[in-house]
Amino acid sequence: MILKELKKTYTELQKEYDGVKSINFSRELSKLNDVNTLEFHYNILKNQDNLDLFYDVRGIFDEHGEAGKEFLLEKIHTEKDPDLKAEALFILGVMECQEVKPIALEFLKSKNYKQQYYGIIVIGWLGNSEDIPVLEKEMMKNDEPQLRLYAATALRQIFFNHAKLKKKIILAYWNALNTEEDVEVAKAIIACVQDLLKTKLGIRESMTEGMIGNLDIAKPKAIKAINKFLS
């Protein structure tokens, strides 16, 4: 399918979304790695009016492989649109591109919520020991409760990639759990502790309902489990 046809299909999908057609469109788009196609694919990430279509389009960008990575690495250093720059970072994070970790760290200083969010999750994907204090600070000091929650789960992602860092991450959770006043954030921290210690503390994560469980019951259990692990 040539680019002209792909552009026509995209316009049709904007007017009337069809899941199967959208997936097929995205797959065909990802097969072409010329500059014009990459420009088109990149620029349509600006349009998030239909989130299903946006997620299909964004989710396939990494299939461009090395050509897509090099293209985004050039774009991310010059892009002025903060949202589009965040999308470039997100995709490069998915592609495990370590070169963008400094940009993710820079995003944490932004006043733009989306940039902070993407910075946190990309550090979770790409991070190592030296990034644990950075995420711990976000988990404990960020003014936005939801971003503190994301920092907690980003620390868990570092553990998934580097299990040897468990003690250091558990210590970060311990510090945060003793000061966190937001119920949902505290529950998220406990949910992460459960995963690291492979135990049940009374919190369940739900895609639709968030963190489920009684914090008053779960928190003392979490503190006891952490103390036992660290002793």
Tens-digit pLDDT profile for residues 55-79: 999 999 999 999 999 999 999 999 9
Q: Are 197 and 170 in contact (CB under 8 A)?
A: yes
pLDDT for 46: 94
Q: Is the pLDDT of residue 1 over 80?
A: no
Structure token pair of residue 186: 């505290």
- Provide the token pair at 119: 């910075």
C-alpha angle 76/81/82, rounded to 5°?
A: 80
Which distant-in-sequence residues (6+ apart) come within 8 Å of 110 by Cβ?
Answer: 82, 116, 119
Tokens encoding 193: 């502790």
Mean pLDDT computed over 191-209: 93
- Hey, CA dihedral for 213, 215, 221, 224, is it positive or negative? positive
Q: What is the rounded CA–CA span in Å between residue 110 and residue 117? A: 10
Query: Which tokens belong to 164?
Result: 């040897």
CA angle 145, 220, 151 (to 5 degrees): 25
Alpha carbons 148 and 139: distance in angstroms, whole number: 4
Per-residue pLDDT of 153-184, as tens digits, reads 999 999 999 999 999 999 999 999 999 999 99
Condensed to tens digits (0 to 9), the pLDDT of residues 14-26 reads: 999 999 999 999 9
Q: Which one, of 216, 160, 212, lies nearest residue 188 by Cα?
A: 212
